[in-house]
């Protein structure tokens, strides 16, 4: 058996930080579509934390199989948009790549945790930009592809804060570097051994690093590309002047729904999104959440109805094993934009806090308090988990959640009481 074949090796013109399954299902897939339409845009991709993905992909010349797994079957193809892959710890390769004048775009999939104060990703971006300035390599676009509102602005401010001590570098970044915000959407579970076996059966290729994803994909971007970019429109990407409405629609419907299913579903012994949404009680809770969130979206009913109809189909696709434990990681970073921001919008509009919104926060609290410390996959909530376990009452637990996630809402006694009531209601959730 052979690995998937390379049909072309494109010149490296895009750098990427965060070489994971989502990048390969999304940005690399769009770049492949641009190349299929006649472009020549190769990607040099660097791992974020673990070097393993680069090691495995390098052994098969950075080519991999992308499987689109629909409800009725699978479609597989080889993707060779990655021209090089690197261990992210290779600083020399990183600086040389960003300093290459042929490189016009740097994309990022560092997850919400990568933007946390003290996280290493902004420093790595700054290191690369400093090398580019020294080399006189010209302007660059930095494109954030993570689930944060105004993610381009967030990475820009983080990079400039680190560069503040060097006025020359700060000025160069402000003048020569654009920071593009984008909304990304494609459900991409972690690859399993069964997926690798299925690729062998479908294609005859011996691929150690395939990616399985859903047929649906969406990418909306806002910002300038001063050195050019791939024709991502060939894959369906859209470029808009104002990305905020699209960010809200994605975060407040899809991502918020995922968080609800993760924390409630794990409490009820469910393992995947499809299992959770197949539980009538969880499906009703999800619909209640969507009814609370949709009132705050800047779209008419027909647009929201269409988006929700698509989500119901996507969530019910049992052939995509999107694991709740994967979704539930780093809730301390995810719940703000997914649940607290639309909750604040409800309150600002004179509406009562949502029962299902409070329920997500309650289920998160129960998830943290009921898990063994080693099972809490959320570095930002390790201390909170201990305090939740030690708290004497559900009202105390509700206060701890608000203090950690939304200090501005700690005086809302109606909200604290609602969260406490929902925590109490979850005590008897079946295993």
What per-residue confidence (pLDDT) applies to 289?
98
pLDDT band at 377 (very low <50, low <70, confident <90, very high): confident
Work out the widest C-alpha separation in the chain, in whole angstroms: 64
Lowest mean pLDDT segment, chosen from 163-172, 262-271, 301-310, 366-375? 366-375
CATH code for the structural domain at 245-425: 1.10.1040.10
pLDDT tens track for 325-356: 999 999 999 999 999 999 999 999 999 999 99
**What are the DSSP E strand ranges found in 149-268?**
177-185, 211-213, 218-222, 238-239
CB atoms within 10 A of CB 350: 6
pLDDT tens track for 131-182: 999 999 999 999 999 999 999 999 999 999 999 999 999 999 999 999 999 9
Structure token digits, residue 211: 């990616």
Helices 341-348 and 280-294 cross at an angle (nearest 10°) of 50
pLDDT tens track for 90-107: 999 999 999 999 999 999
Structure token digits, residue 117: 């104060």
Q: Are 177 and 103 in contact (CB under 8 A)?
A: no
What per-residue confidence (pLDDT) applies to 376?
78
Q: Are 310 and 304 in contact (CB under 8 A)?
A: no
pLDDT tens track for 189-220: 989 999 999 999 999 999 999 999 999 999 99
Q: Are 242 and 281 in contact (CB under 8 A)?
A: no
**Domain residue spans in the chain?**
12-241, 245-425
Superfamily of structural domain 12-241:
NAD(P)-binding Rossmann-like Domain (3.40.50.720)
pLDDT band at 431 (very low <50, low <70, confident <90, very high): very low
Q: What would the mean pLDDT of 392-419 be, rounded to a whole number?
A: 97
């Amino acid at each position: 058996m052979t690995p998937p074949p390379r049909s072309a090796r494109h010149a490296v013109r895009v750098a990427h930080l965060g070489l994971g399954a989502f990048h390969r299902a999304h940005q690399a897939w769009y770049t492949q579509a641009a190349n299929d339409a006649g472009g020549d845009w190769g990607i040099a991709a660097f791992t974020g934390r673990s070097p393993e993905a680069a090691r495995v992909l390098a052994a098969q010349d950075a080519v991999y199989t992308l499987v689109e797994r629909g409800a009725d079957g699978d479609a597989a193809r080889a993707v060779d948009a990655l021209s090089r892959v690197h261990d992210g710890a290779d600083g020399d390769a990183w600086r040389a790549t960003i300093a290459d004048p042929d490189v016009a775009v740097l994309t990022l999939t560092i997850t919400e945790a990568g933007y946390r104060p003290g996280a290493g990703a902004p420093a790595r971006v700054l290191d690369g930009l400093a090398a580019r300035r020294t080399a006189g390599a010209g302007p660059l676009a930095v494109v954030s592809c993570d689930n944060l509102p105004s993610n381009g602005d967030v990475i820009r401010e983080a990079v400039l804060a680190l560069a503040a001590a060097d006025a020359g570098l700060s000025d160069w970044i402000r003048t020569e570097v654009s920071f593009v915000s984008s909304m990304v959407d494609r459900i991409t579970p972690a690859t399993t051994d069964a997926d690798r076996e299925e690729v062998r059966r479908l294609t005859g290729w011996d691929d150690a690093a395939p990616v399985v994803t859903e047929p649906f994909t969406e990418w909306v971007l806002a910002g300038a590309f001063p050195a050019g970019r791939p024709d991502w429109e060939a894959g369906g990407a859209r470029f808009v002047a104002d990305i905020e409405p699209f960010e809200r629609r994605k975060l407040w419907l899809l991502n918020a729904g995922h968080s609800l299913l993760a924390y409630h579903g794990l409490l009820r012994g469910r393992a995947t999104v499809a299992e959770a949404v197949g539980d009538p009680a969880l499906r009703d809770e999800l619909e209640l959440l969507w009814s609370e969130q949709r009132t705050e979206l800047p779209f008419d009913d027909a647009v929201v109805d269409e988006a929700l109809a698509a989500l119901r189909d996507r969530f019910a696709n049992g052939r995509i094993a999107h694991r709740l434990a994967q979704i539930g990681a780093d809730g301390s970073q995810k719940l703000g934009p997914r649940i607290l921001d639309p909750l604040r919008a409800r309150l600002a509009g004179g509406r009562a806090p949502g029962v299902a919104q409070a329920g997500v926060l309650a289920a998160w609290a129960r998830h943290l308090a009921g898990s063994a410390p080693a099972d809490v996959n959320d570095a930002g909530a390790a201390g909170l988990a201990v305090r939740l376990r030690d708290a004497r009452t559900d009202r105390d637990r509700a206060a701890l959640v608000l203090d950690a996630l939304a200090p501005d809402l700690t005086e809302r006694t109606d909200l604290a009481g609602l969260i406490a009531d929902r925590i109490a209601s979850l005590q008897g959730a079946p295993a």
